[in-house]
Amino acid sequence: MSAPQTLVRLPIRVRRTIDGDGEMTAVLLVHCEARRRSVLLDECNECGSCEAVHVDPLEEDSWVTCSRVAAGGGATVEESVVPEGDRTPVVSIMGRRVLCVEPETSTALLRDLLLERGLTGAPVVNPDGAVVGFVSRADLLRSQWPGGAAAVSQIMTPLAVTVSESASIAEASALMALEGVCRLPVVNNAMSGKVVGVISALDVLGWIARRCGYLRHKTSRN
């Protein structure tokens, strides 16, 4: 009799992008440790190792179950890895949702979205999904002055520093400290630098607190 199949449950992440007309598109992503990169959910659906897919309408608990990763392809969910910060990939602690805007998105819409979702900033991407900058609440505040900016392109910080999803938490932390920023867009180099998430200093602090036993679970901040 063959041994029962072991499955690993992997979180589904959502990347939303707002274009210059205010239209929103959403892409569902899964970090595949076997392929060492994030993949579109469609790739999981077409993969022979995908056993089940669950998309939560509230986006709190969407997942796929994968037999290949469980069979030794690696592990991506935080619960299944216990290494140190210099080996844990940033993808294992970043949030499940990321909101991106395009340079032509209006600052008024950006303000509403940041307030509605409790975000402190958003990656700015071109129509291909590659990062071209980052826009923060501080940038927005400056744009509210008389004669202020109408479009994100006028207030964003261009050429945002990014970190690869395969980078470690320690590498991302070093980059944030060196650049003096509190958050970094996480990109997938195999997808031409498309954004797959954002990691913040708060994510790193939460990870340290969980490892030290002061927190049991991730906060539901994002």
47 binds ligand SF4 (CB under 6 A): yes
Burial class for 52, CB neighbours closer than 10 Å (0-12, 13-18, 19+): exposed
91 binds ligand SF4 (CB under 6 A): no
User: Which of 44, 122, 152, 191 forms a contact with ligand SF4 (CB under 6 A)?
Assistant: 44
The two beta strands, 97-101 and 8-18, are parallel
36 binds ligand SF4 (CB under 6 A): no
Smallest CA-to-CA distance from 48 within 82, 13, 5 is with: 5
How many residues sit close enough to ligand SF4 to count as binding (CB under 6 A)?
15
Instruction: Give 222's contacts (C-beta < 8 A, 6+ positions apart).
Output: 95, 96, 97, 98, 119, 198
49 binds ligand SF4 (CB under 6 A): yes
66 binds ligand SF4 (CB under 6 A): yes
CB closer to ligand SF4, 35 vs 137: 35
User: Which of 43, 59, 78, 171 forms a contact with ligand SF4 (CB under 6 A)?
Assistant: 43
Partners of residue 17 on adjacent β-strands: 25, 100
Binding site for ligand SF4 (CB under 6 A): 10, 30, 32, 34-35, 39, 43-44, 47, 49-50, 64, 66, 68-69
